[in-house]
Amino acid sequence: MPNAALEEAFAPFVGQDFGPPEIARDPVNEAMIRQWCDAMGDANPIHWDAEAAAKTHHGGIVAPPTMLQAWILPGVRLADPDRPPSDKQEELHALFNQHGYTGVVATDCEFEFERYLRVGDRVTAKATIESISEEKATALGIGYFVVTRTRFENQDGELVGSMVFRVLKFKPSQPPQQASSGDAAPAKPQRIPAPRGHDNGWWWEALDRGELMIQKCSQCGTLRHPPRPMCHACRSVDWEEQPSAGTGSVHSYVIMHHPPVPGYDFPVAVALVDLDEGTRIVANVVDCPFEDIHIGMKVECSIEELGGVKLPVFRATS
């Protein structure tokens, strides 16, 4: 559900400048350029060797163009947690935070360069909130894409370059990952286990034992899946479980390419399988060329440990 109160509150931000133009604290200088080149392992002599730079069409030492934004960032001040919002973009983000959209992730960044900055140039930046999308469902959670554009000029008012930035402000839908220690390689992302609650825990526990179970209404005998407290046919809350033979046929399927959910090698085949007992289950079809999968294809279930989670998968019946 789109958040009407939030959307009404953020509408006036669209088209607004962040604030007055930001003027670089320091002119373009060799020390900051060298520090940048050291960090990036950039050995291009146009950034540090005056003689070599003079022989190129640059005509002297120039700053790395992708360093453009570094000239106007505020430095250590950015790390102060108590810093009040200092411009319209930060006010906008604070507004999203108030509404629970606390997550932020940059999705796209586009630089265009008109001219290279020379030592002694002083950069001025003017940033604008260009657009805010409608609410989107993403792998990270629901959120809004915010596009900003920054125009960079030199001391003579000449355009140096521009930057378009797209971020997603979202409601985080996943708990933080476990912290790692040292410089160990990050763990390969695993599949996200299904939450186990009062109404469905028994089904996952059966899978852990290698059994595929079906829930059956004790009153009218209707089968149902996934597990839930009440029969959709007679509204009884009395139920029992019965084992499934694991055989069935493909009712429908998709080959999923996007979004990339952790723990899967994409693309993957996701099928809705009609179990022979008479209910349906969603699972992956594996070890079958995608072009061979078809509606009505006979399949059989195998319970396998995948990415740390026991799950049913289906293969074509041989």
Partner 1 sequence: MSQSRRLGDVKVGDALPDLDVELTAAIIVGGAIASRDFTPVHHDRSAANAAGMSDVFMNILTTNGYLSRFVTDWAGPDAALAKVAIRLGTPNTPGDTMQLRGEVTAVDPEGGTVDIAVAAKNSWGDHATGTVTVALPK
Interface with Zn ion by CB under 5 A: which residues? 217, 219-220, 222, 231, 233-234, 236
- CA proximity to 163, closest of 78, 71, 48: 71
97 binds partner 1 (CB under 8 A): no
Partner whose footprint covers residue 222, from partner 1, Zn ion, none (CB < 5 to 8 Å by kind): Zn ion
Beta pairing class for 142-153 and 159-170: antiparallel
Q: How far is the CB of 267 from Zn ion (least distance, A)?
A: 38
21 binds partner 1 (CB under 8 A): no
Give 53 or 217: the residue with its C-beta nearer to Zn ion.
217
Q: DSSP E strands: which ranges in 244-286?
A: 247-256, 268-275, 280-285
CB 273 within 8 A of CB 286: no
Site for partner 1 in 256-275 (CB under 8 A): 260
Alpha carbon 36 to its chain centroid, in Å, reads: 28
DSSP annotation of 10: H
Q: How far is the CB of 239 from Zn ion (least distance, A)?
A: 8
Alpha carbon 188 to its chain centroid, in Å, reads: 16
CA torsion through residues 70, 75, 81, 85, sign = negative
Of these, 17, 38, 238, 304, which contacts partner 1 (CB under 8 A)? Answer: 38
Partner whose footprint covers residue 139, from Zn ion, partner 1, none (CB < 5 to 8 Å by kind): none
Q: How far is the CB of 201 from partner 1 (least distance, A)?
A: 26
Sequence-distant (6+) residues with CB within 8 A of 175 are none
77: which 2 tokens? 């001040």
Partner whose footprint covers residue 65, from Zn ion, partner 1, none (CB < 5 to 8 Å by kind): partner 1
Looking at 103-230, list the stretches that DSSP marks H as alpha helix, in order from N- to C-terminal side: 201-208
Give 109 or 220: the residue with its C-beta nearer to partner 1.
109
Q: Which stretch binds partner 1 (CB under 8 A): 13-21, 76-84, 147-155, 217-225?
A: 76-84
Give 56 or 218: the residue with its C-beta nearer to partner 1.
56
Number of helices (H) and strands (E) in the chain: give both, helices first. 5, 14
Q: How far is the CB of 180 from partner 1 (least distance, A)?
A: 4
Of these, 84, 184, 209, 289, which contacts partner 1 (CB under 8 A)? Answer: 184
289 binds partner 1 (CB under 8 A): no
Q: Is the peptide bond before 20 cis (omega within 30 degrees of 0)?
A: no
31 binds partner 1 (CB under 8 A): no
Partner whose footprint covers residue 231, from partner 1, Zn ion, none (CB < 5 to 8 Å by kind): Zn ion
CB 220 within 8 A of CB 236: yes
Site for partner 1 in 100-159 (CB under 8 A): 103, 105-113, 116
Q: How far is the CB of 213 from Zn ion (least distance, A)?
A: 17
Partner whose footprint covers residue 201, from Zn ion, partner 1, none (CB < 5 to 8 Å by kind): none
Beta pairing class for 124-132 and 280-285: unpaired
Strand partners, 22: 125
Position 214, amino acid: I
Phi and psi at residue 236, in whole multiples of 5°? Answer: -75, 145
Calpha distance 36→29 (Å, rounded): 11
- Residues in the site for partner 1, rule: CB under 8 A? 32, 35-36, 38-46, 52-53, 56-58, 64-67, 69-70, 73-79, 81, 103, 105-113, 116, 172, 174-180, 182-189, 260
